[in-house]
Structure 1
């Protein structure tokens, strides 16, 4: 059922390209709820078409919900990933609405354009955000962040204001964990793109 529904949806939209149909597919999560999509596709093997669509829908939902923070992370990660920014189709300093627009563009492109290109754009986006998380974690660990306001925040004895606290290290570890998960997702997207081009993504 998961494979058949994914293939049927992709084929129908690709051949009709009716704007109304594209809009209904694009907003499927908002209209039906993520649980419906999860029931259909979330348990599919990672290297399959339903698994790729599941990831694309989750990515779009995530990008819409966290537009502001993702725009900041993009600006932190983009300087070391300029090729990815070109592939993803975002400029160097996106605003929140640019993140939302890109989310819609990637998902709609999966249905109306080259599916492999959509997956590669998704991979590039997650790569840059992972880079932004890594940069943020590095600043915390190395104390390369804005000095704390001593009037409002206690500094532990023997600790200078720019030294990382245990909370900083915990936050940095969480950021790195999230970055690692995003890199795995980016790898899955690229693997899916390669399989699609070889006619093996089903």
Structure 2
């Protein structure tokens, strides 16, 4: 994971932004006309309507089918479609909307699977002893990178075939622990930097900058966790649209 790099940006814009995503041909889950309409400079109100309609249609379709192939195709939508195409549909939606929340869930999965080893380590730092967060997120206190990848799929799949609010709460618990791991790492770097500065060690000046980047990334994750929890509350009240 490149802490503090462009791999994660503010949750109020794009949430998690995995890098290096390919853009293969569009599968059948998304109507090409929707994307073409947006790319063609459609009216913002029309873009919003298409975003909400496509998110609701996708969620409704999977909720009403028991076909595991459909679930698998939706789960890997970003892998097959390319994150930029999904972004055209949902990335500009507010975090308290269905398309905005689905966008963040898809990017969370991509980010977790793309940086599973680093995230597993951060989880072990942020959650050294199993707590309620471990139970909610469904992650052991010492996960492997394979555990992180499985959890990424499980959270997103749960949004489509299980209780949507529960999936959001799992996502929130997960991002909170990773954010805590980043904050612990930042504190360690700051302490090491102070010790190195006192000893006159070369390179000590770079450590505060890295610690600041870790804290910035942790802050973004905490905002995203709040978005997930708020989304869960709205869903339970029938107000997430």
After TM superposition, the score normalised by the length of structure 2 is 0.76
* Partner secondary structure for residue 94 of structure 1: coil
The separation in 1 between residues aligned to 2:61 and 2:137, in whole angstroms, is 25
Equivalent residue for 2:118? 69
* Partner secondary structure for residue 128 of structure 2: helix
The one of 153, 158, 173 aligned to 1:109: 158
* 1:168-190 superposed Cα distances (whole Å, 9 cap, x missing partner): 11110000000000000000000
The one of 186, 189, 193 aligned to 2:225: 186
The separation in 2 between residues aligned to 1:201 and 1:4, in whole angstroms, is 13
Check conservation: 2:137, 2:171, Cα contact below 8 A.
yes
Q: How far 1:165 moved relative to its partner?
A: 1.6
The one of 61, 73, 78 aligned to 1:29: 78
Distance 1:98-1:177 versus aligned 2 partners, 3 A rule: same
* Partner secondary structure for residue 141 of structure 2: coil
* 1:59-116 superposed Cα distances (whole Å, 9 cap, x missing partner): 0000010000000000000137721111000001000010000000000000000000
Check conservation: 1:73, 1:133, Cα contact below 8 A.
yes
Equivalent residue for 2:199? 159
- After superposition, residues 74-85 of structure 1 pair within 5 angstroms as 74-79=123-128, 82-85=131-134
Equivalent residue for 1:10? 59
Equivalent residue for 2:238? 199
Check conservation: 2:129, 2:141, Cα contact below 8 A.
no
After TM superposition, the score normalised by the length of structure 1 is 0.90
- After superposition, residues 82-93 of structure 1 pair within 5 angstroms as 82-93=131-142
Distance 1:67-1:131 versus aligned 2 partners, 3 A rule: same
Q: How many residues align?
A: 192
Check conservation: 1:71, 1:96, Cα contact below 8 A.
yes
